[in-house]
Each structure stands twice: as structure tokens, then as C-alpha cells.
Structure 1
């Protein structure tokens, strides 16, 4: 199988919210996904009817030298098993792409007001899709114990 290379253009950027990526406490973080004004306002027609969005973005602050394709322990925790790059969801990925589901609070022109988007101010957004319940997992969902332990505070509100 040949590896393909292709170009992707950002369709939006994150405005506001967090300025630095952190491991936890994304709960309540509000930001705006500002869609490029080359899109007509009616490109978001009907979007306000949805409660959640799925957002594909680029981890633009990642150090290109910080790629770990092999197995490593999540968050370097010795209590968790070594897992390969495709068993992680972090920024240390070949194409630095992230996927997040967030709550859509409001649509104002081409500004999508969101909450719990785990992307920082200035993040290039590759795509925005409404979340359809029917597109969620089918069948029984299972995972190892470490993600539940690791993400216990991921969407908790940031401590004061």
C-alpha cells in the first residue's frame, strides 16, 4: 500500500477558550469556531437544530519531533500498559489531527459558540459535522480500565 500525501485547508479557527493544551479540566470551556468568511452564511443553515458537533482539527502547537509511533505508557504513568500510537487519542500523531465532540450553544452568522471543545485558541479546524445519535457506536462498547482512570477529570470544571 502506497502512502498518500494530500493538502487540507482549514475551514475555520478556534477563537477564545483555552490558550494552552492541558491534560484535564476542559469542562465548561467555551470558545467560538469561526468559519472562514469565504463560506456563505447559509452553509450553517440548520446546524442550530443540533445539540452537539464533531470537530476535526489540527494540533497546531505540537512539536513535529515529538512523534511517538511505538508503544508508550499513557501520560507516562507506570501503572498503565504500553500502548501504540493508534491506541491513544493525543496530539503525538503522524498528521496531528484531533477529533472532539462538543456542545453547540449557538450559531451567530459563521460563529459557532461551543462548550467542552478540547482545542485551544488559534487551532485550525478541518471540518465540522453535526453529531447524529445514529452515528454513535453500535453494539457493546468496551475498553481497558486505564482510559476511564486517566480521563476522570478530563471534562471536569477547572478548579478555581
Structure 2
């Protein structure tokens, strides 16, 4: 099996301070680009409303990985589904992709909202979200993700 070494290009500053399943909305945080990258690597990003952010579940442990089918969030009302049907830290590489709204750019700091990573999270990659690179055609999914995530983007102040 091939392995790849990656280094974080940025870090999440502020925002969520603990891992939670729901109420991710309305929280502002900063994606701070590492000093190793020249400022011009962000040139033009302010013209975009959203980012594509790849990050690592840095608080997860290797033993958290579960390579078997299980019901999402342990809820037996939802069908047991395989490891690669879940979007959480129990997958082998413990990576996530999020699409926060970009609010402002100040030097190396990208002020965003609706980033579901926590303070201190390493960012492995970021790019502007291109609408043309999103899904093509009709998006289809079973009912359970909508049920499970009904409160995911509710405003964090409602906790």
C-alpha cells in the first residue's frame, strides 16, 4: 500500500473548542496560513464566497478507526453502513473536507464561518470552491443522512 507524507499548510484558530456532532453553524474561526508560504499564495482568494478545506481529525487516535459496517451514531434506526459510507474520524486516514464561507482575508488569516473543525486543527489543503467542480447531475442519497444531520448546521448559539 502506498503511503504519502503531507504537512499542514495552515491551522484553524478559534471557533469550535470541542468536538460535537451538531450545532456547527454560525461560528467564526480563522484559517491561518503557515509562515512558510508567501502571502501571494492567497492572492485573489478574496473573490470567492466559499473554500474547500481538507483537514485532519487531529484529536482522533489510530484505534478509533473502525473497518466494519455500523449504524451511524450508533442509532439502530439507521442502517449499518460500511466505513467508507461514514464521514467521520473512524475512517483510515482520519481526513475531512469542509466548505466554509470566506468572510474576510487579513494577511495570512482567512476569516471563515461554518467550518466544522475545532481550534488547533491542521489544514492540509485549501482552495476556493468552484461551482463548476461541484457534483454534476442529480444528487441522490438515502433518507438517513438527512435525518442524522437535521441539526448539524443549526446555529451553535442554540446549544
Instruction: Give the TM-score normalised by structure 1.
Output: 0.97
Q: Give the whole-Å Cα distance in 1 for the aligned partners of 2:67 and 2:118.
A: 24
* 1:21 CA drift (Å): 1.1
**2:30, 2:42 → 1: CA distance?**
14
Whether 2:95 is the aligned partner of 1:97: answer yes
Structure 1 CA distance for aligned equivalents of residues 65 and 39 of structure 2: 38
Show structure 2 runs of 5+ residues with no match. none
Task: Pick one of 60, 63, 66 that aligns with 2:61.
Answer: 63
Q: What is aligned with 2:115?
A: 117
**Alignment size in residue pairs:** 158
In the alignment, the residues of structure 1 paired with residue 89 and residue 42 of structure 2 have an alpha-carbon distance, to the nearest angstrom, of: 28
Of 83, 105, 108, 2:106 maps to 108
In the alignment, the residues of structure 1 paired with residue 61 and residue 18 of structure 2 have an alpha-carbon distance, to the nearest angstrom, of 14
SS in 2 for 1:39: coil
CA distance in 2 between partners of 1:57 and 1:99 (Å): 6
Rounded Cα–Cα distance in structure 1 between residues aligned with 2:62 and 2:4 = 18
- TM-score for both structures, normalised by structure 2: 0.97
**What's the RMSD between the two structures over aligned residues?**
0.8
Identify the residue that residue 124 of structure 2 maps to in structure 1.
126
> 3-state DSSP class of the match of 1:86?
helix
2:153 aligned partner: 155
Q: CA deviation at 1:63?
A: 2.2
1:86 corresponds, among 67, 84, 87, to: 84
